[in-house]
Amino acid sequence: MLPSNLLSVWKRKGEILPRYAKSSSSNDEAANFLIEAYKSHIGEKKKVLKALVAELEDKGYEYRFVRALSLLLDRKSTFVCQCKVDPVDLRRKIFQATEQFGLPTTSENRRKILEIVASKMALAVEDVEEDFYSDLDGELVLEKFSAPSASELLGEYNLGLTQTLLFDATELSFTASGNWQDLFHAIKKFGLIYEVYQDNGLWVKIDGPGSLFKLTRRYGVGIAKLLPIIVANLEWTVRAKVLWRFTNEICDFKLESQKHASLLKKPHLPIVTYDSSIEEDFASKFQALTTGWALKREPEPVTAGKHVIIPDFSLEKAGIKIYLEIVGFWTETYLLRKIEKLKQVEVKMLLLVNEALACEKLSALEKRPQLDLIYYRDKISLAPILRYLETKFDDVKFKEIKLLEGLSIRFTEPVVAFREFADRIGVSAEASRAFLAISPPSGYVALADILVSNEKLLQIGDRIRVAMSQSGKLPLKEAARIIEEEGVDDSANVLTMLGYRIRWRGINSEQAEVSKDPKNFGE
């Protein structure tokens, strides 16, 4: 954040936007000049650095821009008072001496007072001169400095401009691609008044300080502190109504990640940690399986009346989205609040509930059609969850198969992957496999994950027959190579389909051989 007197904006036709410092030779030169000045002036007084800032202003740089950069660098610096004595006590003794010996109206009288004070404090007169005002801001000495890069400094400057502009927002709305747990935690921590709504995604609207009668400054700071958490996401949009006090005009402000993310300093998102070992154990076990369901930790919030719930997980597959909430060991008060929120949820949600919480009020949720409950004891068992997901997917799969049955499908490719066909039509791979495997098109045979034309199988068969014509046998590795060269990645099923068998000698595939199967060749 920056002081309001350093705010610089563009305002046109009711729209307002900070004058962002884009990376350019001029801006980079100013940033690098100041960074190098701080790096090379460790041990010097702050007033020396401020003289260099003034020098940069004299070169034609906009004074608010230069002073803001200097202020940001001050915050990365450690300034100390290197006085040998307490400056406040030293000034007190000097003022007491002037009462006794009179005002220092002449240089001789001034020297006399300093000598008396120096004698009492066992200091040299020069030390008294030096330390008299050594605790004032300009007299502080630069002890440490953490140097940023020019791009980092400009990004921090742009972010600070935006935060300062939002001090006078009458309202602010935003949406983000994630990090919702931290966002709502910050909203509550800063005491911000909010509501949520759906508009092509979930949006949060916050009343701005300009719409309130009290606590304007503190409230504005809260909104400013929220901004870095928003822009830490990959995608975000911020909209606001800003009161421009110079004209008493309400202006529109809009910021989008696609246009402005590169201009702003992007804070690092905190590492997502699980709230409990039960959640972590469930996630690791589920992700180890190949279910086709995409598990996402802390998805977007779910509206529950005027409130929101941030589910622990979401599960997605073939257009189905189910939110998952683990209800573990909670206090009774917390549980009752949670139940009241869950009653207002309109999306599909699965609750994994610890049996110890199987109270009457919680079981009442079972009557709500959008909520499903699965109870667990000490650890969450995946079996009932997988059965539940399978039943939810079966309805979609059945409809997709019916859709495929109504289509006129004709293939020309020699090899058709079920998943590629599914993506082309817009159905799930499971529906594609079920439909094509049960009734493959004329001239094709169905293998595990693909359709292969009879013509392609004959070509493969001819190549294998030629390869084993001399010995009647062929290393499995060589047979697999031939099949893969023909664009088929299922050598075992192809060999079986062509009437060959694999003779294994131990578990090493390098020693396995392919030969004719007597049952299929009349031998």
**pLDDT, position 215:** 41
Q: Of 12-21, 266-275, 387-396, which range is least confident?
A: 266-275
CA-closest candidate to residue 317, choices 165, 456, 430: 430
pLDDT at residue 207 is higher than 50: yes
Q: What is the Cα–Cα distance from 88 to 486, expressed in whole angstroms?
A: 90
Name the pLDDT band for 167 (thresholds 50, 70, 90): confident
Which tokens hold the place of 222? Answer: 């809260």
Phi, psi of 57 (to 5 degrees): -65, -40
Strand-pairing partners, residue 269, are none
Instruction: Note whether 370 and 346 are within 8 A (CB).
Output: yes
Query: What would the mean pLDDT of 5-29 be, rounded to a whole number?
Result: 89
Domain-located, residue 95: yes
- The answer to whether residues 422 and 520 belong to one domain is yes
- The answer to whether residues 371 and 417 belong to one domain is no
Residues in the chain: 523
pLDDT digits (tens, 9 = 90+) for 294-306: 998 878 788 877 7
Q: Of 148-157, 379-388, 462-471, which range is least confident?
A: 462-471
pLDDT digits (tens, 9 = 90+) for 276-300: 788 888 888 998 888 888 998 878 7
pLDDT at residue 90 is higher than 80: no
Q: Which of 263, 292, 319 is the last residue of a domain?
A: 263
**pLDDT, position 335:** 65
Name the pLDDT band for 214 (thresholds 50, 70, 90): very low
Instruction: Note whether 241 and 169 are within 8 A (CB).
Output: yes
Q: Which of 232, 263, 294 is the last residue of a domain?
A: 263
Q: With residue 320 as reference, give the H or E element that holds it.
A: strand 320-327
pLDDT digits (tens, 9 = 90+) for 256-269: 999 998 898 877 66
- The answer to whether residues 446 and 378 belong to one domain is no
How many other C-beta atoms can be found within 10 angstroms of the C-beta atom of residue 228?
A: 17
Phi, psi of 310 (to 5 degrees): -100, 100
- The answer to whether residues 456 and 345 belong to one domain is no
Phi, psi of 215 (to 5 degrees): 55, 30
Q: Which of 342, 361, 392 is the last residue of a domain?
A: 392
Domain-located, residue 64: no
**pLDDT, position 379:** 82
Would the pTM count as exceeding 0.75?
Answer: no
- The answer to whether residues 381 and 317 belong to one domain is yes
Domain-located, residue 513: yes
Q: What is the CATH number of the domain that holds 382?
A: 3.40.1350
Q: How high is the mean pLDDT of the chain?
A: 82
State how beta strands 371-376 and 349-354 pair.
parallel
pLDDT at residue 522 is higher than 50: no
Domain-located, residue 76: no
- The answer to whether residues 421 and 501 belong to one domain is yes
Q: Give SS3 for 212.
A: coil
- The answer to whether residues 120 and 164 belong to one domain is no
Query: What would the mean pLDDT of 436-455 be, rounded to a whole number?
Result: 86
**pLDDT, position 33:** 92
Which tokens hold the place of 321? Answer: 């989205």
Structural domain that includes position 169: 154-263
The alpha helices in 343-453, defined as continuous H runs, are 360-363, 382-405, 418-425, 429-438
Name the pLDDT band for 83 (thresholds 50, 70, 90): confident
Bigger pLDDT: 476 or 336?
476
**pLDDT, position 101:** 72
pLDDT digits (tens, 9 = 90+) for 335-344: 667 777 777 7
Residue with tokens 């300080």: 209
Bigger pLDDT: 108 or 433?
433
How many other C-beta atoms can be found within 10 angstroms of the C-beta atom of residue 512?
A: 17
Domain-located, residue 146: no
Name the pLDDT band for 467 (thresholds 50, 70, 90): confident
Phi, psi of 335 (to 5 degrees): -65, -40
Q: Give SS3 for 183.
A: helix
Domain-located, residue 25: no
Domain-located, residue 214: yes
- The answer to whether residues 104 and 192 belong to one domain is no
Q: What is the Cα–Cα distance from 414 to 101, expressed in whole angstroms?
A: 110
Q: What is the Cα–Cα distance from 269 to 177, expressed in whole angstroms?
A: 12
Q: What is the Cα–Cα distance from 90 to 133, expressed in whole angstroms?
A: 9
Instruction: Note whether 404 and 425 are within 8 A (CB).
Output: yes
Strand-pairing partners, residue 17, are 10
Domain-located, residue 472: yes
- The answer to whether residues 286 and 250 belong to one domain is no
Sheet holding 444-446, edge to edge: 415-417, 450-453, 444-446
Task: Output DSSP code: residue 274.
Answer: -
- The answer to whether residues 433 and 494 belong to one domain is yes
- The answer to whether residues 435 and 504 belong to one domain is yes
- The answer to whether residues 315 and 419 belong to one domain is no
Query: What would the mean pLDDT of 149-160 be, rounded to a whole number?
Result: 93
Number of domains in the chain: 4
Q: What is the Cα–Cα distance from 444 to 415, expressed in whole angstroms?
A: 9
Distances (CA, A) of 225 to 8, 86, 228: 19, 36, 6
